[in-house]
Chain A
Amino acid sequence: METSAANPKIELALALALIGFSGVIFVGAAGLPEPRFEPLGSAAVPRMLAGLMACLSAIWVIRLLPALRKAHPAPAAPLDPEAPKPHPGLAVAVLLAVFAFVAVMDFGLASFKVAGIGFVILCGFLLTHRDLRKLPWIVGYAVVLVLACDFAFTRFFYINLP
């Protein structure tokens, strides 16, 4: 049997989400018209794919069950003080910043220049672990980067940025 190095809980969540997504496709395909001019029709392929994906995901869930039953907190590995720490919280913070950056422009609250400079400063500040000494460099970089992008897209590619 295949073994996996991934976290079985993440795998289970994804497998169940995919089964749910297959269900949504089935519901959506049920409302499509029957084929008239051809044997297959527009609903057949989505139904086939959703059915196949649901079956395969169900097999995945069944294969995961033994791993989930065995799953118990692993003994804490000795920490290497030299090893760099992962920063999942930082990734979440940067992602929220990206969502805010896009939302601000999408809802017309700020132009690309304003939102972009703000985003680059915030993102750079977070990614340098809020090091205030690097902030002036980040501000300068943000202004140059965003103005250069704005110039290239509006003057060179003739695209109206928000």
Chain B
Amino acid sequence: MIALLRRDLAIAVRAGGGFGLGLAFFLVVVVLVPFGVGPDTATLTRIAPGILWIGALLACLLSLDRLFALDFEDGSLDLLATAPIPLEAVVGVKAVAHWLTTGLPLTLMAPVLGVMLNLPGQGFVWLVISLALGTPALSVIGAFGAALTVGLRRGGLLLSLLVLPLYVPTLIFGAEAARRGAEGMAVNTPLALMAGISFACCALMPFAAAAALRVNLR
């Protein structure tokens, strides 16, 4: 499992892995927002937590279709499916690798972009905490979507249609926690609910994703 994690990380980081692509996309989205809504700092302050959450979510979505597709094409997914580790663990490891290469860098980059959107000082710590707790859920739910669409030709487009509605609860609680943090209110309730969703997804979604993969590999 460690070897698989290392391999996936190496593939993602090396050339053609699209490691920086998600981050660059996040940056571009955040840069585009002031052009769309105007440079008024009061408006930007108000919408900053939501924009940062949506940007992170879309950047996360961008790299999902590569999660299983490359391994499916060159046949290594078949080998992984017949390997002595369960397919659920393979899915879990791949989701972890995806999180380490997209969710974690996005979380670390969010405060920098928060400065650009004039996020209030007290909001930074809650933004980072909510993203750190929420992005694992995005990766695992995305792994399920990627497993559903792995064999399809126009999979990428379908993937976003399937995955985005599943992101709704995570987004609501995550953005709510970040917003309350920025406005100096108590964040316990949304943060706890989102952490619950996140952990439940990490615990259960690999099983659904592995079931979908088995169907697709049949």
- A is bound by B: no
